[in-house]
Amino acid sequence: MIARQALGKGLGALIPEQPSSEFEGKKVFGTCGIEEIKPNPLQPRKAFADAQLQELVESIREKGILQPLIVRRKGNGYELIAGERRWRAAQKAGLREVPIIIKEVSESELLEISLIENIQRENLNPVEEGEAYKRLMEQFHLTQEEISKQVGKDRTTITNAVRLLKLPQDIRQSLIDGSISMGHARAFLGLDGPEKQRLALKKVLAGAFSVRQTENLVKRLGRKSSSSFSKKIQEWDPLLEELQRALGTKVRIIARGKRGKIEIEFYSREELDRIIDLLRR
């Protein structure tokens, strides 16, 4: 697919070093009235920090928009593919016209480019980033390895971001608004069930706990309800880590009395096939 090949080279593949009237037969440089552009309804980014946006507004007032917005034709105007933050700031700065690159893409390509563009620019909060990775895996059937190459991030970063989506909504919101950090959120994942996770959040917020204090709290809360069998699991941590490295994904041991199960996570059909192939070996 054309869009995926370009994205594999980074955002630079979308914008050549020197503007031209047309390149690769699909992209055209120019300018247009700012009111002709509509936002992308598939935009993965939902939150725009006022302070950071205002900094960009001041920069645009002083120097203008240094990098064109990427758009596609839509009706009598254009629809944003990438650059919504610049578009919003340009409106606040009072610009009448903005530089654009017109690129004809399908609906699926539009979403894929929007997701990867935001991830590469680190414009997303941790929850939005996790949701973006999940959509790339589910809607575009990309493996974590493929996403890692396209966005230039370590595979562990992708795994951890997707795992955050398992947390209850109120904990995810605390992460979005900055009440807790990624370290706090990852620690909560060590607790079994949303009730314990919410209890831990309440204690962390009340006591302004550090990440290390939160990790210790999670250990205490976990021990309160653990059976002798589940305590034994802690002795298997080195084996679990070795298994996770070998399979390249999250592995858990879930104990119920004297019985239990091993849970291996996967995020796409391709990744499941990869794990099965490793197990067969």
Q: Which of 21, 27, 22 is nearest to 2 (CA)?
A: 27
Tell me whether residue 84 is one of the annotated catalytic residues. yes
Residue 158 lies in a domain: no
Tell me the C-alpha to C-alpha distance, in Å, between residue 76 and each of 28, 35, 101, 227.
17, 11, 16, 66
61/108 same-domain check: yes
203/233 same-domain check: no
DSSP strand pairing (97-103 vs 27-33): antiparallel
10/106 same-domain check: yes
* pLDDT computed for residue 42 by the predictor: 63
Range of the domain at 193: 170-225
34/90 same-domain check: yes
| CATH code for the domain in which residue 81 is found | 3.90.1530.30
Cα diameter, the chain = 71
Residue 92 lies in a domain: yes
* pLDDT computed for residue 199 by the predictor: 92
SS3 label, residue 146? helix
SS3 label, residue 40? coil
211/263 same-domain check: no
8/73 same-domain check: yes
**Structure confidence by residue, pLDDT tens digits, 45-63:** 555 666 667 888 898 888 8
270/214 same-domain check: no
43/108 same-domain check: yes
**Which residues, in sequence order, are CB contacts of 94 under 8 Å at separation 6+?**
61
Tell me the C-alpha to C-alpha distance, in Å, between residue 16 and each of 12, 24, 30, 51.
7, 10, 14, 31
Q: Which residue out of 36, 58, 62, 84 is catalytically annotated?
A: 84
Residue 127 lies in a domain: no
7/109 same-domain check: yes
pLDDT band for position 257 (cuts 50, 70, 90): low
Rank 9-23, 37-51, 241-255, 265-279 by mean pLDDT and report only the highest.
265-279
* pLDDT computed for residue 233 by the predictor: 54
* pLDDT computed for residue 14 by the predictor: 36
Task: Pick 214 or 238 by higher pLDDT.
Answer: 214
- Count the domains in the chain: 3
SS3 label, residue 268? coil
Average pLDDT over residues 220-224: 74
